[in-house]
Structure 1
């Protein structure tokens, strides 16, 4: 068998393993299949290449450019994922495990690509939050903005997800406009290397945007500065060692960690045997114990059930686990493969022994189990092991020891408050789940345990068909947790992108803020439209371009006709005495939606033109009532423009209605789709 040489990609060149290289064994056979690592890597040239070449190239692109880049990368990986499947079996993973890792990672890239186009501007500045008026008249304003850091993101990933673990960090990093140096765990780095090669060979990425280290980082962390980021996934001990680095501390280098986590799942008191929730609970726990051979940071380690249901849970779970076929992951019938290495197997056995000092093993004998199609003595195989802790209040090891494999412990609770207290004893985790059909139970757990968990997953008969599972982090939501889980928040849509950007408070006049954010701010200079703005194409419209309409008087006949026509006969519009008794109205007033209708009649250009559709309005506020005899006029201003495809883009208009005394009576933002 030829030994694969897993190279590093540094400063634009592939560098073969050299001094300090490590042998990598197959999880299935125990035979050496690859070699990785080179202690002679010039890490400073890698950092310089990222900062001086990759960073400027990425920052020259807009968020939408980078989002399109992510989509193209995802499509390229998707077209070539069979090669990633084929090479991943030696990690011990089954085909269904590959789909979690490879398809999950590609899907994460697609989500960030979509969010980048929909939730971020086609610009270089991201506006964070609303405007703040800092002066009485509105000539001095404040706004938070986010811009890309001018450094490099160093990604240190765990062995269990060689593709997803890389892509879930890489997607928000590249979308932010920051280059990355990826360092996977050596045991499975050959899978990551292939994924990196596929992306680089696609020529989609600008030079310097992505580099790859197989093996150790050397003294790279000693060379980081205040513009750099370290994003780490792994053990709490390693995280502590890395984040304690003197340079990282001195330079306040951002450190995002996702580490050890003793995740819990709570069976609700209502979920008795025979209910859909009980069956769902057993299915979820079994899946989390056996998927990736239990090597998931989100796997269920503590099974918390009503004391009266503990025996039923053990019986049902043991019966289901007994059906799990363990063996060569390349075989179609295999349901659980091997751990990533024999070293990892020994670590799990040692941790299981610690748990066993406080809990009884009720299922799974590591000395006596069947392996199909492989030699259990040579490969890194273990059976699912289920423990029962009869005294979770006095136990310690079951709450602080993570056996990173197919190991979990059942424990009973007296009441729901007790269940929450048991869950909290994990001292912070990535996820806790509660399987219940009782909303009151879900609320009590969320309030009681929320501060200790990054995610709370609730499932029942209603959501079970669509739910993604206890152990599936989604790119839309944050992935991380407090305390021993690392205190980080990866992914989370645009929240994850902000880890690689600097938030800056900008203060100045409306014109200054409009120029910086490329978004018109009320009070900024208005540009007189050369023609009605609804006759101008998307590309012709300028930010700040404004239309001032003529006035229209609102009559009592208008109010009464609108009430009769719509059926809206609310007393403030129809009963003068009742309206006057209301502290907000001087008497009968016009309907707010009547004013919006009149506003549209004042500013709309009725003929066919580049405005294709009105897609909604945001931030509607009614500020002052309008009585019969008052008149209104409209100011319509181009606030912001966002391309959507090659045919049309979204125009956000700032609309202000004023009365005959120039007082604001209503304000909102109108959204239209305009042709290019």
Structure 2
């Protein structure tokens, strides 16, 4: 008997007993058995907290990001093997691409996100705030990795993506993970985890795997842990109500299956490009992964005068969808994950049919290519029509987790918004329209009830990732029935695994803690100009107080002629009545240029390679001819850059705080400029 193993406390362990049988969704043959019986779940959480967590916490964001990238590159080498296993879940090649390469893509995406963070284990969060008149007391927010473990309880439909889209985020944040995939398809998850472990890329304790029941795992969670759940709302509620989770105030993020919807805009006519986009999207969302997606379209709302045209067009599109063995190149829709899932889908459809009629598909037969309907978990796409969506409420309450959608009519755009809300919260909604006013009204009216809204039309359809595709840099989750949580979302997702704390103190102390210069902190001046220092030699707080320059009327006139900026406030003495200015004012960019002339070291070639940009530029006080300016120039932050090629110059980005003051000592301009600065020591490319 082939038994899957669990990866526990750094070892592969077989659970006790026979365990649950796992089947090939296409042929019905037994593939393996999975059991977690006898595992020491307390030891798993202790191991993650005491071994995995410290190892990840001491790594910087950049080191964690490079770890993710290395892991993604490693897994790409195993794609043929993963695809071969994935076919056994009933997934076609296209379905598997979403699951496997989509999951690896999340690793790449979060690896790249490291550049948004400092090269240290923690980061500032948001702006700093001066809390005193003399600027000696201030506060800011810091994000530090939690000291617990991320526990991911995942659904059966995406055994790879469901894991990788979560662990990519918690690893970048500095937390280890325990992954508990749904047992029915965990044989694919186990194969990927085995490859991850064999790579040796992760530190010990960063990842553990449970193939089977979660046992008493949740009895051992603590306040520093984070739990995520993907699956049914009823199961999620049961887990979320666990007494230890409530007692310890453990963060619990739920992403539940929901009754997602799509709207056909009133402006879309049969035969138009947007009409074709709409029909194609509905067909795709019904058949990809055989409809086993938490983001699949379950409710289709169309103007009442286009009901028949829509369902006939969708039915015709479904008729072209070939079903059968996913290994066959002619097949476009595979099997459900197993016979249990098939039975559950048919049971839910029977509830829907109490208030709807079936207009396409069959409950008991399906035409297949290269497969036996008696052995595989195959089902026909099922298209229903509910002519009375306000009276027959099952369409807004019952989800059949398969290739099943219900078409319903609406009388007005406002009514479409009301109908979309009847699902009581979803992960995603779409509207197909080319009318900006209609799109805006729908987004604002339906927005509170959906986690994501796709506005789809011919202008973006070719490159759109589609209704059912959550993206790493956008939040995935939704209100109400959808679970009330969110995951991914780029930097937002990383914050879920970190503790945000307010820190208060003097500007000097906050600068030392954050490694970002805070206004009001003292600077360090020395005889070496900051532009003569290599990246490694520069320290946050290095400061230069420049010489002075008096701005003349000739400067203003010459700058106007050079830049072609003859705005009246700079050049016309007769047009200033009723304005903010007493007399012609110097151009803001003249002041910034003059400031650059003061702080730049032009004596000889140095480590500064180029000006990389300007952030947060503000002109806060007018400068008139006769005013004298001076610059306080401070190293604000250092951002490490990795070499892409061995031939690249080793370098980093330095942010400088530029404070321009007049003869009274008041600020006239403030900005952050960025320079690219060469490193003294070469490093290998990453």
Using the size of structure 1 for normalisation, the TM-score is: 0.98
Question: Among residues 205, 208, 211, which one is paired with 1:208 in the alignment?
Answer: 205
Instruction: Tell me what 1:668 maps to.
Output: 671
Instruction: Tell me what 1:587 maps to.
Output: 583
- Once the 2 structures are TM-superposed, how far is the Cα of residue 349 of structure 1 from its aligned partner? 0.3
After superposition, the C-alpha distances for 1:456-500 in whole angstroms (9 at most, x for unaligned) are 011111111111111000001000000000011100001111111
Please tell me whether the aligned partners of residues 30 and 378 of structure 1 are also in contact (alpha carbons under 8 angstroms): yes
| Separation of aligned partners in 2, 1:268 and 1:369 | 33
Question: Among residues 113, 116, 122, which one is paired with 1:115 in the alignment?
Answer: 113
SS of 1:241's partner is helix
| Separation of aligned partners in 2, 1:71 and 1:418 | 47
Instruction: Tell me what 2:415 maps to.
Output: 418
- Once the 2 structures are TM-superposed, how far is the Cα of residue 608 of structure 1 from its aligned partner? 2.3
Query: Is 1:196 aligned to 2:193, yes or no?
Result: yes
| Separation of aligned partners in 2, 1:613 and 1:464 | 40
Query: Is 1:295 aligned to 2:292, yes or no?
Result: yes
Please tell me whether the aligned partners of residues 580 and 587 of structure 1 are also in contact (alpha carbons under 8 angstroms): no
Number of residues of Structure 1 aligned to a counterpart in Structure 2: 672
Question: Among residues 76, 79, 84, which one is paired with 2:77 in the alignment?
Answer: 79
Please tell me whether the aligned partners of residues 659 and 669 of structure 2 are also in contact (alpha carbons under 8 angstroms): yes
Instruction: Tell me what 1:27 maps to.
Output: 25
Question: Among residues 659, 662, 671, which one is paired with 1:659 in the alignment?
Answer: 662
Instruction: Tell me what 1:379 maps to.
Output: 376
Please tell me whether the aligned partners of residues 525 and 543 of structure 2 are also in contact (alpha carbons under 8 angstroms): yes
Query: Is 1:513 aligned to 2:513, yes or no?
Result: no
Is there any run of 5+ residues in structure 1 with no aligned partner, and where?
none
- Once the 2 structures are TM-superposed, how far is the Cα of residue 138 of structure 1 from its aligned partner? 1.6
| Separation of aligned partners in 2, 1:28 and 1:576 | 84
Query: Is 1:445 aligned to 2:448, yes or no?
Result: no
- Once the 2 structures are TM-superposed, how far is the Cα of residue 580 of structure 1 from its aligned partner? 4.4
Instruction: Tell me what 2:620 maps to.
Output: 623
Query: Is 1:322 aligned to 2:322, yes or no?
Result: no
SS of 2:658's partner is strand
After superposition, the C-alpha distances for 1:430-459 in whole angstroms (9 at most, x for unaligned) are 000011111111101100000000000111
Question: Among residues 236, 240, 243, which one is paired with 2:233 in the alignment?
Answer: 236
SS of 2:322's partner is coil
Instruction: Tell me what 1:345 maps to.
Output: 342
After superposition, the C-alpha distances for 1:32-88 in whole angstroms (9 at most, x for unaligned) are 111001210011111111000000000110011101101111111111111111111
Query: Is 1:217 aligned to 2:220, yes or no?
Result: no
| Separation of aligned partners in 1, 2:527 and 2:37 | 65
Task: Judge which range, 202-211 or 637-646, deviates more.
Answer: 637-646
Instruction: Tell me what 2:477 maps to.
Output: 480
| Separation of aligned partners in 2, 1:273 and 1:551 | 71
| Separation of aligned partners in 2, 1:20 and 1:65 | 42
SS of 1:393's partner is coil
SS of 1:247's partner is helix
Question: Among residues 525, 532, 541, which one is paired with 1:528 in the alignment?
Answer: 525
Query: Is 1:4 aligned to 2:2, yes or no?
Result: yes
Question: Among residues 43, 55, 72, which one is paired with 1:45 in the alignment?
Answer: 43
SS of 2:591's partner is helix
| Separation of aligned partners in 1, 2:223 and 2:29 | 43
Please tell me whether the aligned partners of residues 580 and 588 of structure 1 are also in contact (alpha carbons under 8 angstroms): no
After superposition, the C-alpha distances for 1:229-271 in whole angstroms (9 at most, x for unaligned) are 1111000010000000000001000001100210000111111
SS of 2:615's partner is strand
Instruction: Tell me what 2:682 maps to.
Output: none
Please tell me whether the aligned partners of residues 90 and 335 of structure 2 are also in contact (alpha carbons under 8 angstroms): yes
Instruction: Tell me what 1:135 maps to.
Output: 132
Query: Is 1:650 aligned to 2:653, yes or no?
Result: yes
| Separation of aligned partners in 2, 1:387 and 1:454 | 25
Instruction: Tell me what 1:94 maps to.
Output: 92
| Separation of aligned partners in 2, 1:656 and 1:580 | 30
Query: Is 1:460 aligned to 2:457, yes or no?
Result: yes
- Once the 2 structures are TM-superposed, how far is the Cα of residue 217 of structure 1 from its aligned partner? 1.5
Task: Judge which range, 573-582 or 230-239, deviates more.
Answer: 573-582
| Separation of aligned partners in 1, 2:505 and 2:582 | 38
After superposition, the C-alpha distances for 1:545-586 in whole angstroms (9 at most, x for unaligned) are 01111000000011111112211111111123423421x222
Task: Judge which range, 659-668 or 124-133, deviates more.
Answer: 124-133
SS of 1:281's partner is helix
Please tell me whether the aligned partners of residues 20 and 39 of structure 1 are also in contact (alpha carbons under 8 angstroms): no
Please tell me whether the aligned partners of residues 17 and 35 of structure 1 are also in contact (alpha carbons under 8 angstroms): no
Instruction: Tell me what 1:603 maps to.
Output: 599
After superposition, the C-alpha distances for 1:416-443 in whole angstroms (9 at most, x for unaligned) are 1000111110100000001111111110
Using the size of structure 2 for normalisation, the TM-score is: 0.97
| Separation of aligned partners in 1, 2:509 and 2:17 | 55
Task: Judge which range, 399-408 or 23-32, deviates more.
Answer: 23-32
CA RMSD of aligned residues (A): 1.0
| Separation of aligned partners in 2, 1:487 and 1:340 | 27
Please tell me whether the aligned partners of residues 20 and 38 of structure 1 are also in contact (alpha carbons under 8 angstroms): no
- Once the 2 structures are TM-superposed, how far is the Cα of residue 20 of structure 1 from its aligned partner? 6.1
Q: 1:340 to 1:537 in 2, by over 3 A?
A: same
